[in-house]
Amino acid sequence: MRALGQALGNGEVFSTGIILQELLHGFNRPRAGERIVSHFRAIPLLVPDRSDYENAADLHNLCRRKGVQTGTIDSLLAQLCIRHDLKLLTTDKDFHQISKNRSVAVVGMNAGGGEHYLTEI
């Protein structure tokens, strides 16, 4: 988590609108959602363009041919990281499988918040 705090302080953290939306889906109380929105205002959002959607579909199809199932959103997030040369911070181990098929750096977090793997292929 230290690395995340440092990256936030250096302006090296980005997110997407879909991640913000997914976070907000988990809150029933308005105040909690307002806090998330407030904190996320400091984080620039990456906006996919047409080529990102096309390349995400290619990535999805490549993974599927290799026996790795990926979701539409996961493929798009991985594609954005590839295009912008970013590391993907996640608790979702599916991204580790994606990284075996395409060059994407994945930093995994365990439930306690500590880094437990970095895959960069």
Per-residue model confidence as pLDDT tens for the chain (121 residues): 666 677 777 777 888 999 888 888 877 777 888 888 888 888 889 999 999 999 999 989 988 888 888 899 989 998 998 898 888 887 777 777 787 766 565 665 554 444 433 333 3
Contacts 24+ apart (CB under 8 A), 17-25: 17/45, 17/47, 18/73, 18/76, 18/77, 19/77, 20/45
Where do the domains of the chain lie?
1-46, 48-121
Of 3.40.30.10, 3.40.1380.10, 3.30.300.30, 3.40.50.1010, the CATH number of 48-121 is 3.40.50.1010
Return the pLDDT at 52: 96
pTM: 0.76
Return the pLDDT at 50: 98
Cα 36 to Cα 32: distance, rounded to the nearest angstrom: 6
